[in-house]
């Protein structure tokens, strides 16, 4: 198999299998469209591919592509058989009306700009050897070692590595804590390496473009499900994928952040269906993404917790939400006054206090205020990372607060966005991570998790805004 064919298969197979299952699952409720199936299909498929690799590793057989790929294909056949035996419900066809020329023209223009962008990015990715720092320092080394030995060779802390007996084979990494980072991205790379047959090929990183396409499909599909017209849904996709910082994480592939952002966003978008339609399938999809998110990066563990919290919170009406807020407030008072210290069996200590936060598998954080507002303002409002996104989002948030009707109509996406941004602000204002805001090494990557949510919220808000009635004669176009 040629390298290119292998790379394409490594993308297409999970996409197909995930797509089949998403199609079958969402088809139970007839609340989906092609783009939702395509987008969720890829993300879910990648999650399944990494799970298949892990399962193969447990068998003790040498790691290879065709074994886990066959298992994945079987899973796909099973999904297809289910769909065959119990046909899915087709969503009602949208009422077709000829779109005015300006809508088609605008959508075409924006899609053309995006096509130009991602062709540029695709060529950049394929031509350049692995480039960005954390990619070769933190994420690729595990995959390269596993690819070489065809087994999941353990990675240990530098101190443990020094104490290893000579007969034990274990590796450590050059960044002190990288050995314990979640394995989602190395598994994803390993999947590509096994398919391509090389650990040194840019083709391995093609999924960093595929995930952008998948997220674009998810965003478009969910905006359409939420009632957005075609130009607004295309505008949403353009707003997100024209952003330089989103682009750069595909062009300079190899970081985990784009995957975390895509997975978290996909979960939140799915939750809005759970919010509005009580669709259990979408809730289940969000939970699957929570699990995937936690395997991608340490902040993904917190975001996974956020997905679960949102899953509960956004189904509640105001009264119940307030009722839930009361014990939460009481808990906050307890935390700030006395603190909470627990020993969680198998995980370790959990500490929540005004001075210290310790979360198992996440880390220890001393709580102190750090004035990082200048760096945050510069990163989000002056540098070219985000175009005008945060200006527009700030205006939309203010508008939603001024008009409760808008807030109610967009509550789920509003809550997710506010929660995510509040979490990021807390991290950089109150923990030792502040230094990564001051040197800009991390802060933009963190706001990448909120960017799709911001676009989704802004577009949903736009969709809810009343239009000034045009004169009847104009409507015919």
Partner 1 sequence: MFNGGGSQGSTAPTEPTAIGNLAFARAALVALLALAISAAVLLSLYPRLLERSGAALDTTPGAAVDARPGTAATPWAINGADLIVRMGGAEPGAGDSLHVTRLEEGVDSRAILTRRVALDARDYPYLEFDIRGRNLASYYYFIWRTADDPDTVHHIALPFSGENSSVRLLAQDPTWRGSVIEVGLDIYGELRDVSPQIRRLTLLPAANASLWQSIWAEWRAQRTWTQRSAHQLPGTPTETVLSPVLGAAAWAGLALLLALLLARLVRASLIASALLCLLLPWIALDLLWQVKLSNQLEETRLLFSGKSRAEKHLADIDSELYSYAQHLHSEVLPPPGAKVHLLNEEGRRGYRRLKLQYYLLPHNIFNFGKHPIRESLREGDYLIVLDEVPGLRFDRGRGELRWGDQALPVVRVDRRAPGSVYRYRGETP
Among 166, 345, 371, 404, binds partner 1 (CB under 8 A): 166
Rounded to the nearest 5 degrees, what angle is found at the Cα of 410, between the Cα atoms of 406 and 414?
A: 110
> Which residues, numbered 258-317, are part of the site for partner 1 (CB under 8 A)?
276
Contact 218, 41 (CB under 8 A): no
Residue 200 touches partner 1, criterion: CB under 8 A:
yes
**Least distance from partner 1 to the Cβ atom of residue 278, Å:** 13
Contacts of 341 (CB under 8 A, 6+ apart): 349, 350, 351, 353
Name the token pair of 272. 């809005």
Please state, in angstroms and rounded to a whole number, the distance separating the CA atoms of residues 103 and 228. 13
Alpha-helical (H) ranges within 93-163 are 101-127, 133-134, 140-149, 158-163
Please state, in angstroms and rounded to a whole number, the distance separating the CA atoms of residues 354 and 24. 47
Nearer to partner 1 among residue 2 and residue 355 (C-beta): 2
**Least distance from partner 1 to the Cβ atom of residue 227, Å:** 4
Nearer to partner 1 among residue 158 and residue 305 (C-beta): 158
The closest of 246, 240, 266 to 258, measured between CA atoms, is 246
Residue 157 touches partner 1, criterion: CB under 8 A:
no
Residues in the chain: 477
Residue with tokens 């991608």: 296
**Least distance from partner 1 to the Cβ atom of residue 301, Å:** 22
Write the interaction track for partner 1 spanning residues 448-467; mark x where CB under 8 A is met and - where it is not.
--------------xxxx-x
> Which residues, numbered 227-256, are part of the site for partner 1 (CB under 8 A)?
227-232, 235, 239, 242, 244-245, 247-249, 251-252, 255
**Least distance from partner 1 to the Cβ atom of residue 102, Å:** 4
Residue 404 touches partner 1, criterion: CB under 8 A:
no
Among 319, 337, 345, 475, binds partner 1 (CB under 8 A): 475
Residue 169 touches partner 1, criterion: CB under 8 A:
yes
Please state, in angstroms and rounded to a whole number, the distance separating the CA atoms of residues 215 and 229. 18
**Rg of the chain, C-alpha, whole Å:** 23
The closest of 291, 259, 58 to 139, measured between CA atoms, is 259
Give, as one character, the DSSP assignment of residue 206: T
**Least distance from partner 1 to the Cβ atom of residue 62, Å:** 15
Residue 154 touches partner 1, criterion: CB under 8 A:
no
> Which residues, numbered 92-111, are part of the site for partner 1 (CB under 8 A)?
92-97, 99-103
Q: Which helix (H) or strand (E) holds 357?
A: strand 356-359
**Least distance from partner 1 to the Cβ atom of residue 342, Å:** 33
Nearer to partner 1 among residue 148 and residue 341 (C-beta): 148
Report residue 141: phi and psi, to 5°: -55, -40
Q: What's the half-sphere exposure (Cβ side, CA atoms, 13 Å) at 325?
A: 8
Among 66, 77, 84, 149, binds partner 1 (CB under 8 A): 149
Among 26, 49, 79, 140, binds partner 1 (CB under 8 A): 140
Residue 28 touches partner 1, criterion: CB under 8 A:
no
Residue 132 touches partner 1, criterion: CB under 8 A:
yes
Residue 387 touches partner 1, criterion: CB under 8 A:
yes
**Least distance from partner 1 to the Cβ atom of residue 339, Å:** 32
Among 10, 124, 294, 302, binds partner 1 (CB under 8 A): 124
Report residue 352: phi and psi, to 5°: -130, 110
> Which residues, numbered 31-90, are part of the site for partner 1 (CB under 8 A)?
31, 33
Nearer to partner 1 among residue 211 and residue 357 (C-beta): 211
| Burial 28-64, CB ≥16 within 10 A → b, else e | ebebbbebbbbbbbbbbbbbbbbbbbeebbeeeeebe
389 burial level (CB within 10 Å; 0-12, 13-18, 19+): buried
Among 4, 176, 336, 405, binds partner 1 (CB under 8 A): 176
Nearer to partner 1 among residue 290 and residue 443 (C-beta): 443
| Burial 164-181, CB ≥16 within 10 A → b, else e | eeeeeeebbbeeeebbeb
Dihedral class, residue 141 (left if φ above 0, else alpha if ψ from -120 to 50, else beta): alpha
**Least distance from partner 1 to the Cβ atom of residue 248, Å:** 6
> Which residues, numbered 338-377, are part of the site for partner 1 (CB under 8 A)?
none
**Least distance from partner 1 to the Cβ atom of residue 471, Å:** 7
> Which residues, numbered 430-449, are part of the site for partner 1 (CB under 8 A)?
440-442, 444-445
**Least distance from partner 1 to the Cβ atom of residue 281, Å:** 14
Residue 189 touches partner 1, criterion: CB under 8 A:
no
Count of chain residues binding partner 1 (CB under 8 A): 105
Among 18, 45, 141, 192, binds partner 1 (CB under 8 A): 141
Give, as one character, the DSSP assignment of residue 384: G
Name the token pair of 102. 């300006």
């Amino acid at each position: 198999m040629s390298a290119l064919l292998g790379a394409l298969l490594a993308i297409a197979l999970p996409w197909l299998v995930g797509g089949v299952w998403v199609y079958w699952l969402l088809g139970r409720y007839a609340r989906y469209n092609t783009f939702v199936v395509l987008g969720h299909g890829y993300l879910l498929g990648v999650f399944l591919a990494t799970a298949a690799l892990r399962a193969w590793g447990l068998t003790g057989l040498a790691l290879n592509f065709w074994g886990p790929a066959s298992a994945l294909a079987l899973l796909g056949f099973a999904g297809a058989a289910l769909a065959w035996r119990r046909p899915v419900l087709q969503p009602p066809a949208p009422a077709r009306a000829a779109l005015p020329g300006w809508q088609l023209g605008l959508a075409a223009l924006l899609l053309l700009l995006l096509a130009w962008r991602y062709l540029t990015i695709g060529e950049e990715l394929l031509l350049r050897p692995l480039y960005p720092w954390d990619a070769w320092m933190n994420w690729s080394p595990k995959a390269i070692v596993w690819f070489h030995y065809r087994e999941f060779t353990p990675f240990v802390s530098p101190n443990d590595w020094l104490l290893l007996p000579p007969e034990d084979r274990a590796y450590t990494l050059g960044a002190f804590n990288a050995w314990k980072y979640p394995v989602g991205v190395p598994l994803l790379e390993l999947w590509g390496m096994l398919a391509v047959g090389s650990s040194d090929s840019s083709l391995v990183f093609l999924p960093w473009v595929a995930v952008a396409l998948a997220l674009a499909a998810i965003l478009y599909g969910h905006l359409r499900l939420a009632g957005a017209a075609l130009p607004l849904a295309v505008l949403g996709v353009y707003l997100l994928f024209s952003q330089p910082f989103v682009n750069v994480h595909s062009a300079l592939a190899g970081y985990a952040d784009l995957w975390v952002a895509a997975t978290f966003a996909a979960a939140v978008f799915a939750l809005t269906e759970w919010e509005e339609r009580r669709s259990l399938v979408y809730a289940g999809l969000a939970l699957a993404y929570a699990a995937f998110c936690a395997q991608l990066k340490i902040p993904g563990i917190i975001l996974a917790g956020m997905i679960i919290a949102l899953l509960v919170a956004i189904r509640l009406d105001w009264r119940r939400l307030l009722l839930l807020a009361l014990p939460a407030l009481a808990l906050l008072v307890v935390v700030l006054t006395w603190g909470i210290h627990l020993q969680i069996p198998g995980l370790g200590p959990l500490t929540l206090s005004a001075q210290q936060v310790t979360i198992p598998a996440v880390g220890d954080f001393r709580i102190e205020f750090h004035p990082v507002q200048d760096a945050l303002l510069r990163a989000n409002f002056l540098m070219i990372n985000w175009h005008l996104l945060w200006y527009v989002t700030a205006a939309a948030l203010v508008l939603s607060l001024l008009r409760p009707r808008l807030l109610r109509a967009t509550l789920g996406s509003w809550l997710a966005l506010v929660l995510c941004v509040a979490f990021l602000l807390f991290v950089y204002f109150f923990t030792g991570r502040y230094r990564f805001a001051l040197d800009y090494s991390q802060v933009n990557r963190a706001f990448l998790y909120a960017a799709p949510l911001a676009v989704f919220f802004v577009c949903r808000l736009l969709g809810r805004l009343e239009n000034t009635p045009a004169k009847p004669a104009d409507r015919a176009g």
